[in-house]
Amino acid sequence: MQSLLPSTVRKTVPRLNRLLLVLAAYPSVRVVAVVEPDSLANLVTNLSDSNCQNAQAAYMTCTTYVLKTLTQCNIWLYLDAGHAGWLGWTSNLQR
């Protein structure tokens, strides 16, 4: 199975850019952006699955792009990076 990087980036970047155009039209409005809830923890605990392995580069590239482009004075970012419970399960101890 091939990496999902090219097709995922082609889909994600234009979507984000459209959102940024809307946000730019309202610079005095405060925005809270929730970025990828739970996906970071899934990335850590599920890399043994080939689907997750194939999505890793696309996930990292797109998440980095989102965080960099949403860094504006009127946008507050919330990055849900998971919690210790993700790694607390017996099946995840070796990860």
CA–CA dist 64, 3 (Å, integer):
17
Report helix angle 50-69 to 5-24, nearest 10: 30
List, by residue number, the catalytic residues. Answer: 38
- In angstroms, rounded to a whole number, what is the distance separating the alpha carbons of residues 56 and 18? 24
